[in-house]
Structure formats: C-alpha cells, structure tokens
Amino acid sequence: MGPQQPALDELKRRACESVELNAARLGELSRSIWRRPELAYQEHHAHDAMTGFFSGAELPGAAWAVRPRYKLDTAFRAEWGTAAPGPRPLRVAFLCEYDALPGIGHACGHNLIAEVGAAAALGLKAALESLPQPAPVAVQVTVLGTPAEEQGGGKIDLINAGAFDGLDVVFMAHPSQENAAYLPDVAEHECYHVSEDTEFLCKANKRHSSEEFILGFILLDMLSVTVKYYGKASHAAAYPWEGVNALDAAVLAYNNLSVLRQQMKPTWRVHGEIFIKSDIQHVEIKGGKNDYYNVLPNKSLEKIYKENGKKLGIEFISEDCILNGLSGSTDFGNVTFVVPGLHPYFYIGSDALNHTEQYTEAAGSQNAQFYALRTAKALAMTALDVIFNPDLLEQVREDFRQVKLKEEGQLHPVVTDKKPDAGVGACASR
C-alpha cells in the first residue's frame, strides 16, 4: 500500500519543489541544446549535454547510472532506482527528444522536450528520495534520450533494439500552441495511381503488387513508399520513339500527386522526393521516413495528468477543440504500441506555429521556461499517482490493452480477393 492522500500530496509538492530548485540548470541545459541545433542521428552535442547533466556531481541526491551512446550513437539512458525489497520494480520512463530541423534550428522545441523529461525525472526522484526508508514501492526511474524524431524515427530503432522492454509507463510532453493531454495525429496515408510497370517496395524492401499494397499497408498512420520507374534506353536524337522515359513518368506522377492535394481531406498528407539513379533509366519517388503509428490515447493517464495540471494552473483546451485540433505524427506513436504512454502538448507562451522561425525563437526564450517546468511538474505528479495507486496502474494497463487491440485490428486488415473500388486511386480514410 502506498501513502494516503495527504502523504501523496506532500510527495507531489516535493517533486514540484525539486523542479524549481533545479530550474536554472535545467534552463541552461535547454538553451545549450537550442544554441547548437543538430539534425537527426547527429545530435552529438545534445547527447553530451544530456549525459553530462545526469552525470554531474552537483545534481541533488544519489547519482544516476548513465549509459551514453545507448544502442544508438546519440541516444542515452539514465537510471536511478529505489532500493526496496520485493518483486521487480515499477519502471517509469521519461523520454527526451533533442533533434532540430534543417535550416531553422529548434523550430519544434525539442530542446524543451529534453528539458521537460529531465526535469520530471529529477522531480520524481527527489519525491521518492524523500520517502521514509524502506520505500513502500520499488521504483526505477528511467530517462531515455531518443534521437531523430523529425527524420528517421529513432524511437522505432530503439524499440527494435529492446530499449523499451520491461518499462511500465512512458511519458513525454511536446511543445505546441495549446495545452492538451492528447491530440489526435494527422492521419498520413498515401494515394496511388496504379500502373502496370510500377513496382511498390515496402520498408523491408519487399516487392508488392499494387493491390497487396493498398489492402495490406495503407492503414498505417504514416506510410513510406518507394515507387520505382524503369525506362528503356534509345538514341535521343536518332530514334527517341524507341525509348521509354522513366524520368518523365516519375515527374508526371509527382506533379499529379501535387495537384491531387487540393482534393484531399484536411487530415491527409502526402510528401515525396524524386531520386534519379545514375543510369537515367531508373527513377524513384520516395516517401519520407519510418512508418509512424498513431499515438494511442490512454484515458486514465490523460485524466490524472489533467487533474494534476489544473492544480498547477494549466488551462486545457476543450474536448471540442481536441477533436478539431490535430498534431503531426510522431514516433512516440510507435512507443504507445509497446508501453502505455502519455504524450501531452504544452503551450510555451507564444502563438507561433511549430516548424516556423518564430517558434524557434519562442522555444529558446526565457518565457517558455515557466511553461516547460510547469509541464514537467504535472508529469512527475502523474507518475507519482501511477506509482502509488495500484488501481490506477491496472486501469492504465487495461486502457492500453483495449485501445491497442482496437487499433491493431485496423492496422492489419484481412486481405481478401475483393478488388478496391474503381481499381485505381484508392485512398484510405478513417
């Protein structure tokens, strides 16, 4: 049994106090990452700043066990646990992103994600360290540095490498224009016009027929597709009519996708790049990055997070706004398929939109610090609720199971021999 409500309130107060006590060094950590923006998988300075932070002797309380370059060159893992007897500890993790965007720096505010993850972990640790010994519940607090969200999907690499094995709950908060415990992702699907000589390759580089692709893969949140065009060489001056121009085919396909956008639903997105191989007969259109799944909602975590946030003065947007508000897709979605997770959004004191120069400025401003630290406090408080309320933890796990079952049913549709309607241009929507 955990502490009664007054004692739990005292632990939450202790967590918030610790975040405040560390505010200056947390702000410096965030600014250090912001000043030197680095792209996906190249976040060496951010990695060193984060691992240096958790290895620093000046941090209060017991030392963190830090594992630099954890499974990826620019990922890390820092852990601290209570020494309680009994079964395996409850493992709570905070994720830190720290990659930036090409040309405009930290326009998505991932420096603040790193700061919030670090701050929440410090707060939770301080609260647990203030418990009378022996601690009633064994807890392990993990901070996981997860590179390459904007491009690549570092969390997917880390999932595949086993970094999330054994974790019980995962938290990460993302900067936004508003405060929300959950926002539905923009569902990113792709539309195809299918022609005879077109080859569809999935991420595993397996060749698929157009029909297989549409029926079997289209329901992923973000689908990355490579379409290869093969041409036929001929003398361009003497007998050009003998040739088949792969480049023209790829350019036309790209242009058609571009004009198709005006007929697309507001929640659909399609992006592509054209790659020309040296032999000119061989042209590819490629989609963006790893397949990102929808973030699975967890109603129980969201409810507790909102209760804690409101106590700190966070004003959350209404349910209606949530239905109309959309976020970009994120590799945190993939995490929520392996561990129950919470991915709230937080206002940073600016109405600027993510991925703009104005947002870069806001993410590095002193003004954002208040909002970031307040969010970290709400996360630490929510983690304390999960740790000390076994019924809540059970409910969180049940929500995870139910939502995942439902979502997976949609991810793997039964492939039948029924042809898609109209044969061409089939688009998925939900």
What are the start-end ranges of the H helices in 36-169? 44-55, 110-129, 154-160
Q: Which helix (H) or strand (E) holds 90?
A: strand 90-96
Q: In this complex, which beta carbon is closest to Zn ion, that of residue 281 or of residue 327?
A: 327
Q: How far is the CB of 99 from Zn ion (least distance, A)?
A: 9
Q: How far is the CB of 318 from Zn ion (least distance, A)?
A: 23
Q: How far is the CB of 330 from Zn ion (least distance, A)?
A: 7
Q: How far is the CB of 371 from Zn ion (least distance, A)?
A: 16
Q: How far is the CB of 110 from Zn ion (least distance, A)?
A: 6
Q: In this complex, which beta carbon is closest to Zn ion, that of residue 82 or of residue 290?
A: 290
Q: Nearest to Zn ion by Cβ — which residue?
A: 108
Q: In this complex, which beta carbon is closest to Zn ion, that of residue 271 or of residue 310?
A: 271
Show the tokens assigned to 357. 């120069």
Q: How far is the CB of 273 from Zn ion (least distance, A)?
A: 18
Q: In this complex, which beta carbon is closest to Zn ion, that of residue 34 or of residue 192?
A: 34
Q: How far is the CB of 288 from Zn ion (least distance, A)?
A: 12
The number of beta carbons lying within 10 Å of the beta carbon of residue 296 is: 23
Q: Which helix (H) or strand (E) holds 104?
A: none
The Cα–Cα gap between 220 and 294 comes to 8
* Sequential DSSP letters for 280-305: SSEEEEE--SSPPPPPPP-HHHHHHH
Q: In this complex, which beta carbon is closest to Zn ion, that of residue 108 or of residue 296?
A: 108
Q: How far is the CB of 29 from Zn ion (least distance, A)?
A: 18
- Shortest CA distance to 192 belongs to which of 408, 422, 430? 422
Give yes or no for a contact between 90 and 140, defined as CB atoms under 8 angstroms apart.
yes
Q: In this complex, which beta carbon is closest to Zn ion, that of residue 107 or of residue 181?
A: 107
The Cα–Cα gap between 124 and 353 comes to 31
Q: How far is the CB of 94 from Zn ion (least distance, A)?
A: 16
- Shortest CA distance to 381 belongs to which of 317, 314, 335? 314
* Sequential DSSP letters for 164-175: TTT--EEE--EE
* Residues contributing to the site for Zn ion (CB under 5 A): 108
For residue 400, which amino acid is it? F
Give yes or no for a contact between 180 and 322, defined as CB atoms under 8 angstroms apart.
yes
DSSP code at position 263: G
DSSP code at position 65: E
Handedness of CA 211, 217, 219, 224 (dihedral sign): negative
Q: In this complex, which beta carbon is closest to Zn ion, that of residue 105 or of residue 340?
A: 105
Q: In this complex, which beta carbon is closest to Zn ion, that of residue 54 or of residue 98?
A: 98
Q: In this complex, which beta carbon is closest to Zn ion, that of residue 40 or of residue 202?
A: 40
Q: How many CA atoms lie within 13 A of 404 on its CB side?
A: 15
Within 20-89, strands assigned E span: 65-67, 76-81
DSSP β-ladder status, 273-276 and 90-96: unpaired
